[in-house]
Amino acid sequence: MNGTMFYNIFVVLLLLVFLYIRFGPTKGLRTLKAGDFQKEMEQSSDRVLIDVREPSEYKSGFIPGAMNFPLSQFSHYISDIPKDKDIFLYCKSGMRSKNAALILRKNGYTRLNQLAGGIGSWKGKIIN
């Protein structure tokens, strides 16, 4: 094998690792379909619902009871999120809520849930 082939294999491996980290499962995060997400929220007496979209997205419609803690400013809100409650996260598609969950995990949160497919998959009430 020549150097070019080693380089190509290395690039492909890096790409695969990146894709797994970006799209693979997150330890300690439950990704729930809309119906299960709603059911789990209703059954939890100790919950916090967080919309991690930007304020303009939040204003266009949000799940009742959701607090808007944009991912771009998320570190400013961590002290406002109790560690002893079930945390329910959502965004537009699921990527930002996953990133928010990673931040929370690093800060000792363990009861993390996210809405699969983001708010677009939500079948319940939306406040505009």
Catalytic residues: 91
CA 122 to chain CA mean position, Å? 14
The candidate with the shortest Cα–Cα distance to 82, out of 25, 44, 119, 126, is 44
Q: In what order do the strands lie in the sheet with 112-115?
A: 29-32, 112-115, 86-90, 47-51, 67-68
The answer for residues whose C-beta is within 8 angstroms of residue 97's C-beta and 6 or more apart is 52, 89, 90, 91, 114, 115, 118
Backbone angles phi, psi at 108, to 5 degrees: 95, 10
Question: Where are the alpha helices (H) located in 24-127, listed in sequence order?
Answer: 34-43, 55-59, 95-106
